[in-house]
Chain A
Amino acid sequence: MRGLKEAKKVYDWLEMRVGFEKPVKEAALHPVPKNTASWWYVFGSAAFTLLMLQVFTGILLALVYVPSAGQAWQSLNFLNHNLTMGWFIRAVHGWGSNFMVAIVLIHMAQVFLFGAYKYPRELTWMVGVLLLLLTLGMAFTGQVMRFDQDAYWGLGIGAMITSRLPFIGGQLVHLLLGGPIIGGATLSHFFALHVFVIPAALLGLAGLHVWMVLRLGINEWPMPGRAVKRETYVEEYHKLTHEDGVPFVPVALWKDIVFSSGIILAVLVCAAIFGPQGPTGVPNPTYIHTDPKPDFFFLWIYTSLAFLPPWMETPLLIIGPPIVILGLLGFPLLASEGEKSWYRRPVAVLVVMILAVAWGALTDLGTYTPWSPHMDAWSADIIAPKQVKALSPLERQGAIVFQDKQCRNCHQVDGHGGMRGPALDDVATTMTYDQLIRQVLQGGGNMPAYGKNLSPAEVDALVDYLETLHKAGQKPAVDEANQWTDQAAKAAPAPPVPLVGTAGNAMTEQQLQAQTQMSVPMQAPQKAQVATAAKAKAQHPAAMKMAPGA
């Protein structure tokens, strides 16, 4: 009892000097609309809690981390392996970052769907957009802090994108990298951004964001038909909070607290189970056997850059981001009044759904990068012995060519290999012998031309092997004209040349025989012509000449 009295005395002494009691009480007990004490309203506070976690764990990492291109990688490994719980702090910071980006995005989607950006909370939304950009900035610069091969080449990608800006691109690259090339200055530049500049802005703006939420009141639960009008909104909101309101503490806050601790627990569990991310290989640019990839939240950009048509890339990279950012910042000014309820805003719901699905699909593709050649498929993924068992020597030679010339890096066979080009498991049924030769020699459809890189003998063998790639029971595709000439060369008497076949479908052997029997005997010179044509097909000298640059 005496202790309590002493404590009260200390409190009073402090309170007299700082005077926090009144504003804190006001903020805590301010009435909020009853149905906003909902599990849907917990994401903002969770994002803020994660920010605090990041600041705290970041400081802990800075105790050991060395922002030097020569030592950062070593200091991270020291943290991972030599310091008590160093790995865990790294893991918490890394997973905290993933969770923070996710929660910020969920918070944004929720606020958008609840129409919370409308009058008078337009500026709160705009500050929120800046907070999102800063959060992503933290995620990117954080990836650079993990100064490994991914970080090194990721910086290269950043520099290459920046360099596409007209006029100032080159100089901006110098500014970004702190010099002409990725080096010591680059890492310390990004360290300053990650540790001083962006966090300061993030904390300041987050404070402003929360301040505005307190000042303007939490967005009421949207009801269909209750449209926002500039003239009447403030009065209506006041009525809502004072007639049907509940005090923020404890009615709404307990859910925030529970959710926030749940999220922190989830971060800890992920950190304990999955551990810290990287660092991967040493950031030595001469180790070129690397497969750089951005962190999870930037995979969608990585994917987009693989799928955009080349001519569209530079304009989109330059014009796209400013348009998106200005659009996000500006749209609450254009739609500050009207319905808040998602029941009356189908377009808004559709937009969120489309963005979510697109983001998910692009990210999913980014996890296995079907557009990248599998650099070691040609030497790592072997053709199963059972597949070549029944093949002729020439076809087996073709299988070797297929493997040795890195065809496998882009083409799957039997479920192994790259996915840049189509899988070739039944290529023989979709392309004829001649088409295969043309495709190999001239390339096209995003395939290099191999005319200069393969000898005629190798092409022969390769295409003979490709001809064996079809399902059991399916016959290889045959060019109709060739089918006729082949049969004609074998059969005597041969059918008259030229022949008119049924379009599209190859003739069956019976049809062919029937037609052969009906036809008149062929003259000797004609026969010779047909035989030459068949031979030419096999040796394809004409096709070789067609090859570019051959």
Chain B
Amino acid sequence: MRDNVTEESNMQSEHTGNVEHPQEQAGGMTKAEISRRWLLMKIGIAFNGIVGLALAVPIVGYIVSPMKKDAKYKSWVSLGGIEKYPVGTTRLATYVNPWQSPTDGQTDDIACWVRRTGQQQFTVFAINCAHLGCPVRWFPQSKLFMCPCHGGVYYADGSVAAGPPERGLFKYKHQIVNGELKIFAGQMPTLSNTAKLVTTIGPCKGDSPCAG
């Protein structure tokens, strides 16, 4: 045991450059004492490591806390009675985002496009262009959605008509409860959470699968 300690302290003195200070050795310090110093240093480092970990775990937890599963952010939101949306029209609807914080201000007011094609037939499109998220506008005269940013154009059913989007407009899940139109919303629709990229960009006319 004693031998082991000596050997270890020898190694340490080599590693840490103690040999450069012969006066310390000459001052009567035994190898055992040096070893004790380094043991304390090691204990110090280990202690720091533990405290650091105790600090890091809550910090990391705090920073990554917004990274939740999509469903956790979403809930059913009412867009009002279905009578607000006459059959055969596409209208802008707004709702207050169900996920809020006290400093959101007006950013909680979210818009979407509601298209009603029959008594019970609705499609609710996100306002965000499927290319880079700018707000698309509906033109009832030409029955097209147009995006002001990069010229993405969509047909009335949300499928791509022209421009750079790789898929049709994002659609919200919706249901009609007691004459009210409800959508499943709460999160900004992006390519990663709503319907992924559509790989086949073929002819996107009508309600083809590539409309997303």
Residue numbers of A with Cβ under 8 A of B are 68-71, 73, 152-153, 156-157, 159-165, 169-171, 173-175, 177-188, 282-286, 288-292, 302, 305-306, 308, 310-311, 313-314, 371-373, 375, 378, 404-407, 409-410, 420, 443, 446-450, 452-453, 548-549
A-B contact pairs, 7 of them (CB 8 A): A70-B103, A284-B106, A310-B165, A446-B163, A448-B161, A448-B162, A453-B142
Which residues from chain A contact B109 at a C-beta distance below 8 Å? 284-286
Find B108's partner among A171, A183, A308 (CB 8 Å cutoff): A183
Residue numbers of B with Cβ under 8 A of A are 63-64, 66-68, 70, 73-74, 92, 94, 97, 99-111, 127-128, 131-137, 139, 141-144, 146-151, 153, 155-156, 161-166, 186-188, 190-193, 197, 201, 203, 205-206
Q: How far is the CB of A299 from chain B (nearest CB, A)?
A: 12
Find A174's partner among B66, B133, B137 (CB 8 Å cutoff): B66
Is the Cβ of B166 less than 8 Å from the Cβ of A372? no
Q: How far is the CB of A67 from chain B (nearest CB, A)?
A: 9
Which residues from chain B contact A447 at a C-beta distance below 8 Å? 162
Is the Cβ of A286 less than 8 Å from the Cβ of B162? no
Q: How far is the CB of B52 from chain A (nearest CB, A)?
A: 20
Is the Cβ of B193 less than 8 Å from the Cβ of A69? no
A-B residue pairs, 9 tightest by C-beta: A70-B105, A184-B103, A448-B161, A163-B190, A180-B187, A156-B133, A180-B73, A170-B192, A169-B192
Which residues from chain A contact B205 at a C-beta distance below 8 Å? 449, 548-549
Which residues from chain B contact A73 at a C-beta distance below 8 Å? 105
Q: How far is the CB of B141 from chain A (nearest CB, A)?
A: 5
What residue of chain B has the Cβ atom nearest to residue A547's Cβ?
B205
Find B135's partner among A174, A285, A404 (CB 8 Å cutoff): A285
CA distance A380 to B66 in the complex (A): 44
Given known A164-B191, A169-B192, A180-B187, contact A152–B133 (CB-CB < 8 A): no
CA distance A446 to B133 in the complex (A): 20
Is the Cβ of A183 less than 8 Å from the Cβ of B66? no
Is the Cβ of A286 less than 8 Å from the Cβ of B142? no
Which residues from chain B contact A405 at a C-beta distance below 8 Å? 141-142
Find A311's partner among B64, B99, B201 (CB 8 Å cutoff): B201
What residue of chain B has the Cβ atom nearest to residue A189's Cβ?
B66
Is the Cβ of B149 less than 8 Å from the Cβ of A292? yes
Is the Cβ of A305 less than 8 Å from the Cβ of B134? no
Is the Cβ of A164 less than 8 Å from the Cβ of B192? yes
Given known A184-B104, A286-B110, contact A448–B150 (CB-CB < 8 A): no
Is the Cβ of B151 less than 8 Å from the Cβ of A181? no
Q: How far is the CB of B135 from chain A (nearest CB, A)?
A: 4
Is the Cβ of A180 less than 8 Å from the Cβ of B104? no
Known: A157-B132, A175-B66, A310-B164. 17 other contacts (CB 8 A): A68-B105, A69-B105, A153-B134, A157-B134, A159-B188, A160-B191, A170-B192, A180-B188, A183-B103, A285-B107, A286-B94, A308-B164, A310-B166, A371-B151, A443-B162, A449-B205, A453-B156
CA distance A263 to B124 in the complex (A): 53
Given known A285-B127, A288-B137, A420-B151, contact A161–B107 (CB-CB < 8 A): no
Which residues from chain A contact B166 at a C-beta distance below 8 Å? 310-311, 313-314
CA distance A378 to B149 in the complex (A): 18
Which residues from chain B contact A157 at a C-beta distance below 8 Å? 132-134, 149
Q: Which residue among A70, A177, A311 has the maximum number of chain B CB atoms within 10 Å of its CB? A: A70
Which residues from chain A contact B66 at a C-beta distance below 8 Å? 174-175, 177-180, 185
Is the Cβ of A71 less than 8 Å from the Cβ of B128? no
Is the Cβ of A183 less than 8 Å from the Cβ of B133? no
Is the Cβ of A375 less than 8 Å from the Cβ of B191? no
Is the Cβ of B132 less than 8 Å from the Cβ of A160? yes
Q: How far is the CB of A35 from chain B (nearest CB, A)?
A: 44
Q: Which residue among B161, B165, B203 has the maximum number of chain A CB atoms within 10 Å of its CB? A: B161
Given known A70-B105, A446-B162, contact A181–B141 (CB-CB < 8 A): no
Q: How far is the CB of B138 from chain A (nearest CB, A)?
A: 9
Q: How far is the CB of A423 from chain B (nearest CB, A)?
A: 16
Which residues from chain B contact A183 at a C-beta distance below 8 Å? 97, 99-101, 103-104, 107-108
Q: Which residue among B73, B155, B205 has the maximum number of chain A CB atoms within 10 Å of its CB? A: B205
Is the Cβ of B142 less than 8 Å from the Cβ of A406? yes
Q: How far is the CB of A191 from chain B (nearest CB, A)?
A: 11
Which residues from chain B contact A378 at a C-beta distance below 8 Å? 139, 141
Q: Which residue among A73, A179, A182 has the maximum number of chain B CB atoms within 10 Å of its CB? A: A179
Find B164's partner among A70, A184, A291, A305 (CB 8 Å cutoff): A305
What residue of chain A has the Cβ atom nearest to residue B146's Cβ?
A373
Is the Cβ of B187 less than 8 Å from the Cβ of A181? yes
Q: How far is the CB of A40 from chain B (nearest CB, A)?
A: 39
Is the Cβ of B104 less than 8 Å from the Cβ of A70? yes
Find B139's partner among A180, A188, A406 (CB 8 Å cutoff): A406
Find A404's partner among B141, B153, B186, B206 (CB 8 Å cutoff): B141
Q: How far is the CB of A163 from chain B (nearest CB, A)?
A: 3
Is the Cβ of B132 less than 8 Å from the Cβ of A305? yes
Which residues from chain A contact B131 at a C-beta distance below 8 Å? 160, 305
Given known A153-B134, A453-B143, contact A313–B164 (CB-CB < 8 A): yes
Is the Cβ of A180 less than 8 Å from the Cβ of B99? yes
CA distance A313 to B142 in the complex (A): 29
Which residues from chain B contact A177 at a C-beta distance below 8 Å? 66, 188
What residue of chain A has the Cβ atom nearest to residue B139's Cβ?
A406
Q: How far is the CB of A462 from chain B (nearest CB, A)?
A: 11
